[in-house]
Amino acid sequence: MRRYLNHTVAAGLVLVMFSLPVAATDARLDTLFAQLEGAEPMDARRIAAEIELEWARSGSAAMDLLLRRGEDALEAGDLGMAIAHLSAAIDHAPEFAEAWHVRSAAFFEQKRYGLALHDLAQVVVLEPRHFNAIYGMGVIFEQTGRFALAHDALERAQAIHPHHEAVSEALERVSRKLGGTDI
């Protein structure tokens, strides 16, 4: 009996130790999102950059390295290598939302919109406040002629990050395509 208790206590400690960084990150993100909501445009850019830095931290040096390699390959235009690195990160850490997000960008560049939307949906499941993923959905909906869905996604992204310039520009563009009417 004592042996099982020791294993149970050890397992509990491991769970708590691995949960602490996640809880700290969640609390930090909650604070940053609260600040973003009422921020002035210049402060909003800084706060959004801090949020993006938090999203890029998986808690694993190996997964962070795979993310960086995927981003570097994407930036270099090597979409196949980007997808390979990011898929490896996702396979090993499926809860790492930013790996899904960056892989969606590679799929988007390949004009594989269905795969990109799938990855973006996974990002939003993992982090419902991921304004860049929601913006990405809006862009894909716009590219595929689904302007009402694009408008809805862009409005949602703007509600989370009111000073996101790309979202504001896309929302204006989509609104014009819808005839300037509010949905």
Examine the fold and report which residue of 96, 120, 144 is the final residue of a domain before the chain moves on. 120
Residues 53 and 30 in one domain: yes
- Closest of 2, 150, 135, 73 to residue 86, by C-alpha: 73
Residues 44 and 14 in one domain: yes
Residues 34 and 115 in one domain: yes
Residues 99 and 12 in one domain: yes
Residues 111 and 144 in one domain: no
Residues 147 and 110 in one domain: no
The Cα 19–Cα 25 span in angstroms is: 10
Residues 158 and 103 in one domain: no
Residues 35 and 100 in one domain: yes
Give the count of beta carbons closer than 10 Å to the beta carbon of residue 113: 16
Residues 65 and 147 in one domain: no
What is the domain extent for residue 15?
A: 2-120
Residues 166 and 83 in one domain: no
pLDDT digits (tens, 9 = 90+) for 95-136: 999 999 999 999 999 999 999 999 999 999 999 999 999 999
- Closest of 149, 154, 148 to residue 169, by C-alpha: 154
The total domain count for the chain is: 2
pLDDT digits (tens, 9 = 90+) for 1-39: 545 434 433 333 333 333 334 444 688 999 999 999 989
Residues 7 and 84 in one domain: yes
Residues 17 and 56 in one domain: yes
pTM: 0.83
The Cα 172–Cα 166 span in angstroms is: 10
- Residue 179 DSSP class: T
- Distance of CA 105 to CAs 14, 39, 71, 72, Å? 35, 28, 10, 12
